[in-house]
Amino acid sequence: MTLPDRSSLSRRDYLRALVAVGGATALSACVSESDDVDVPTGTDDPDSLPARQHAWNDALSRDDHGNVQPPEHHVLVALSLIDEPSDDGRERVEDALEILERAYEWSNEGLVFTLGYTPAYFDRFDDSLPETVDLPEPEPLTDREDPTFDEFDAVLHLASDRSQVVLEAEAGLFGEADELNGVDVETGLTGVFERVEDQRRTGFVGEGLPAEHTELSGVPDSIPDEAPFFMGFRSGFDRSQATEDRVTIEDGPFGGGTTQQISSMDLQLRIWFEQDNHYQRVTKMFSPEHADEELVGDIGEALTSTNALTDERIESTQDDARTRGVVGHAQKAARARVDGEPPLLRRDFNTVDGESPGLHFLSLQEDIEAFVRVREAMTGDDLGVANANNGIRSYIFVTQRGNYLIPPRSLRALPPANPTGDDSSEET
Amino acid sequence: MQDHDFDRRTFVRRTGAVTGLLALAGCLGTDDDDDNDDTTEETDDDLEAPAFPEVEDPPDAVYVPTHRESMRMLEPVEAGDYTIAPMLSYPHPFWILTGGAGGEGEIERNDPEQMDGVHMMFTLWDDDTGVVLPVDSGNAIRVFRDGEQVGSPRSAWTMISQAMGFHFGDNVPLDDHGTYTVEVELPPLSTRTTGQLEGRFTERATATFEFDYDEAFWDHVVGEVEYLDEEYWGQRGALEPMDHGGHGDHGDQQEHDDDDHDHDGHDDHDGHDDHDHGDHDDGRDDHHNHDDIPYSALPAADAYPGTLLEPIDDPDTDLPRSGDAAFLATLFDSGSRLVEGDDRYLLVSPRTPYNRVPLADMALSATIERDGETVADTELVQTIDGEYDLHYGASLGDVQPGDAVTITIESPPQVARHQGYETAFLEMPPIELTVPEG
């Protein structure tokens, strides 16, 4: 893959583009672009890190309103096992991941990551996953989508505010870097996993980042300068997100783990920004009342730490469908709240993989069924409202989906399907 | 593939036959040479758009627009149960609606973001019954050139225009001349279907078509825009439905005068394709005609069975109006095929007042009162029937002569509008009817 043209891009955009390209040459270009950046180092004591792989929130920074600030740069490295899982392979994976933890602080400035496994990975074991883990094969969730599915074995999600770090970490794991932030790379994933190159996915999130992509034909100039997401609004409001506790599997051998689903989608931004007006966008993204009462501000800044979906606004979804002819995306999805609590912890990010705007909608939930319920509520087929006015349905086109188990840290290296089973059956 | 020009049927107002109305004012003229076969060059930087004059102070009703757009029709494509007829014009403004009962910002005029490109349209119908399907469950359009996807996928808007009736459409920007391939993915229909349509359209289907985007296309669609005499702009009335090629031998420039009995419904596209095939030869096969592309006209009022409900106030139109939409409301005799058991079926069929275009994606409810007491209060379910086409219906167990029936429009038709429809069908007060005695 060729490197992006430095002269035609802003520095920030160039770094983003390097993350998308990946590999050793992108890394060296990135390093030369990022010289003198001091990346905080990690820890030699793995036990000092949280028992949950997905315990990011306490380590990440927060904005003025208390919302978690996700790292700016993301890579999803799709992995395929070379040989069947073995104790030797487990040791190598664990050692490799501990090198990342020694090299980088568990933070925005350093690196946070998870390693998750697909149903296809667990299929190789005689044992089934315990009943406490709900990890079905991915499937289409609406009539209008026909995604391909993640059928490889695992995905490594790397996230950092520093593009150099996500690139370097990946390079180190696959023999393309000898040293990570001063830590020698003694063991990598090479030999255990190979990368599924055409499934490597990248992205970014942060105020102003989407507007740096207006050179793409799919990203109109009219996207707000400060928008953190391509759709033009903030997301991930603290009070609209599930807590890490809520999405954590409580019981069984994978207690302390979580499930992850990733739906990748194309976004139609030219219609969204060039045809719909701000009132219509607010109506379709949040609710008609959000638009009428001007609750949102230009990009969601007026919402501070909540998407302002009161019980009344959620309950009025059906009424809005009838009497307004339109419902908001957030409004109808919030119908899937359980006892008033959001069931999903979103860690989604923008992408320009494929040179067109998209979203890798990554969510964590205790079980995949929770995501399916939210998606059903978000689809809103029960509302009888015109497709174009049914939230943002007309603007998103799901292309890919994967379901994963993110085990607790103690089982993150090639876990068997039933770690407490009587008989270790992985080498059958 | 042969282009078909729409024959220039005389625009006819609602009242009074007027001749010589059409002022042919194609602002760019037509390039008769048509020898341009470039397929790779970039388009001109500054395509001159045909004028799109505003009508000053249009009525809150259907009104005569400033012009009739011209277009190219492509060969219909079958996809599963669906038949789809793609059509192309130049990018032009339309109005999108998000709500529409009066809120500021709910209706937005959409000007094309760039003139390089096409206004892409398609009509979707069931070939067995000829019923145009006026609802969307989430179509997805992907455009390709030389195997590469051009732009992001999009969902075309559902739209109504006077000439085109109900259709799907959007302005699609194209930066280069060339041959484009379009995939239209159609999900299963989520609207209730009855009669011959019951159990149909349950599978996703994908239709594919190609077109050339070049100067000849542009000259063709722009050169033949027909402007009306300014004195008619904004008057109450509508353009006639466009001719899809099947009216060549009718010769009867009949007025689509009202929503009543004077014409023969939407199945009259049975003529021969004997009119001018136009001046634009793009070198494609010329063996197809488009006689069978239906216009989305609902059946005339007298085509519906049952007891026609009568307006309480005697209107000066054959059918009562709300927001300038004509409402046909009829009570089927008990035990019809549209109900379970012995119930009666209340069918409400709102349509545009001149061309009988179905008004889809409304929310309607009916209240039945007897001696001042409410005896029924029900939502009307949007339904597409093989015979009665788009309507909103409910099964009623207890309804008697003399009962008062109020049709409440909870939200107006959530479809995008072309010029002449954007000020109508927005604020829609209830319609008061009674079940006639005996």
Convert the pLDDT of each residue in A66-104 to its tens digit: 999 999 999 999 999 999 999 999 999 999 999 999 999
A369/A138 Cα distance (integer angstroms):
11
Closest residue by Cα to residue B90 from B123, B116, B54? B116
**Residue B219, token pair as written in the block:** 């000259």
Average the pLDDT over A301-321 and give the result: 94
Which residue in A has a C-alpha nearest to residue B159's C-alpha? A388
Residue B252 has pLDDT above 60, yes or no: no
Flag if B153 and A278 touch (Cβ within 8 Å).
no
Nearest to A144 among B101, B138, B360 (CB): B138
B419/B55 Cα distance (integer angstroms):
9
Closest residue by Cα to residue A144 from B283, B294, B60, B187? B187
> B285 versus B203: which is more confidently predicted?
B203
Q: What is the pLDDT of residue B30?
A: 31
- Is B99 near chain A, with CB under 8 Å? yes
Q: What is the pLDDT of residue B43?
A: 54
> B24 versus A425: which is more confidently predicted?
A425
Nearest to B152 among A268, A278, A283 (CB): A268
A94/A115 Cα distance (integer angstroms):
11
Q: In chain B, what are the domain boundaries?
A: 301-434
Q: State whether residue A214 is helix, strand or coil.
A: coil
A181/A111 Cα distance (integer angstroms):
11
Given pLDDT bands bounded at 50, 70 and 90, which one contains residue A1? low
Using N-to-C axis directions, what is the helix angle for A11-21 and A163-173, rounded to 10°? 20
Closest residue by Cα to residue B355 from B234, B228, B240? B240
- Is A393 near chain B, with CB under 8 Å? yes
Which residue has 């009674």 as its token pair? B434
To the nearest whole Å, the CA of B363 is away from the closest chain A CA by 6
Contacts of B93 in chain A (CB under 8 A): none
Q: What is the pLDDT of residue A102?
A: 97
B280/B223 Cα distance (integer angstroms):
11
- A202-259 pLDDT, tens per residue? 999 999 999 999 999 999 999 999 999 999 999 989 889 999 999 999 999 999 999 9
Given pLDDT bands bounded at 50, 70 and 90, which one contains residue B51? confident
B interface test, pick of A144, A216, A284 with most B CB neighbours within 10 Å: A144
Average the pLDDT over A4-13 and give the result: 80
Flag if B138 and A218 touch (Cβ within 8 Å).
no
- Is A394 near chain B, with CB under 8 Å? yes
- Could you give phi then psi for residue B54, rounded to 5 degrees? -80, 145
Q: What is the pLDDT of residue B42?
A: 52
Q: What is the total residue count of chain B?
A: 438
Average the pLDDT over A332-355 and give the result: 96
To the nearest whole Å, the CA of A147 is away from the closest chain B CA by 13
DSSP H stretches of helix in B196-272? 215-223
Task: Supply the mean pLDDT for chain A.
Answer: 94
A interface test, pick of B152, B201, B362, B382 with most A CB neighbours within 10 Å: B152
Nearest to B153 among A266, A292, A385 (CB): A266
Flag if B138 and A394 touch (Cβ within 8 Å).
yes
Q: What is the pLDDT of residue A33?
A: 74
- Is B429 near chain A, with CB under 8 Å? no
Please, what is the end-to-end C-alpha distance for chain A in angstroms? 39
Q: What is the pLDDT of residue A27?
A: 82
Flag if B173 and A270 touch (Cβ within 8 Å).
yes
B133/B202 Cα distance (integer angstroms):
14
Q: What angle do CA B393, B396, B397 make, to 5 degrees?
A: 160
Flag if A387 and B96 touch (Cβ within 8 Å).
no
- Is A238 near chain B, with CB under 8 Å? no
**DSSP label at residue B302:** G
Q: Which residues pair with B292 in a beta bridge?
A: none
> B365 versus B4: which is more confidently predicted?
B365
**DSSP label at residue B176:** B
- Is B204 near chain A, with CB under 8 Å? yes
Closest residue by Cα to residue A133 from A407, A426, A415? A407
Given pLDDT bands bounded at 50, 70 and 90, which one contains residue B191? very high
Residue B266 has pLDDT above 90, yes or no: no
- Give B301-434's CATH code, choosing from 2.60.40.10, 2.170.130.10, 2.60.40.2480, 1.10.10.10: 2.60.40.2480
Residue A143 has pLDDT above 70, yes or no: yes
Give Cα B77 to chain centroid, integer Å.
19
User: How large a percentage of chain B has pLDDT more than 90?
Assistant: 68
Nearest to B412 among A269, A283, A325 (CB): A325
Which amino acid, one-letter code, is at A4?
P
Q: State whether residue A273 is helix, strand or coil.
A: helix
Flag if B154 and A271 touch (Cβ within 8 Å).
yes
Task: Supply the mean pLDDT for chain B.
Answer: 82
Sequence-separated (6 or more) residues with CB below 8 Å from residue B324: B60, B61, B62, B353, B424, B425
Q: What is the pLDDT of residue B293?
A: 85
> Which conformational region is residue A395 in: left (phi greater than 0), alpha (psi within -120 to 50 degrees), or beta?
alpha
- A373-391 pLDDT, tens per residue? 999 999 999 999 999 999 9
Residue A112 has pLDDT above 60, yes or no: yes
Which residue in A has a C-alpha nearest to residue B106's C-alpha? A280
Closest residue by Cα to residue B308 from B369, B257, B362, B259? B259
Residue B29 has pLDDT above 70, yes or no: no
Average the pLDDT over B126-153 and give the result: 95
**Residue A76, token pair as written in the block:** 């999803």
- Is B341 near chain A, with CB under 8 Å? no
- B377-433 pLDDT, tens per residue? 999 999 999 999 999 999 999 999 999 999 999 999 999 999 999 999 999 999 999
Sequence-separated (6 or more) residues with CB below 8 Å from residue A423: none
Flag if B137 and A385 touch (Cβ within 8 Å).
no
Q: Residue A261: which H helix or E strand, with range?
A: strand A258-267
Percent helix, strand and coil across chain B, each to the nearest 5 = 5, 35, 60
Sequence-separated (6 or more) residues with CB below 8 Å from residue A141: A372, A375, A376, A379, A398, A401
Which residue in B has a C-alpha nearest to residue A216's C-alpha? B151
Given pLDDT bands bounded at 50, 70 and 90, which one contains residue A364? very high
Residue B10 has pLDDT above 90, yes or no: no
Flag if A144 and B106 touch (Cβ within 8 Å).
no
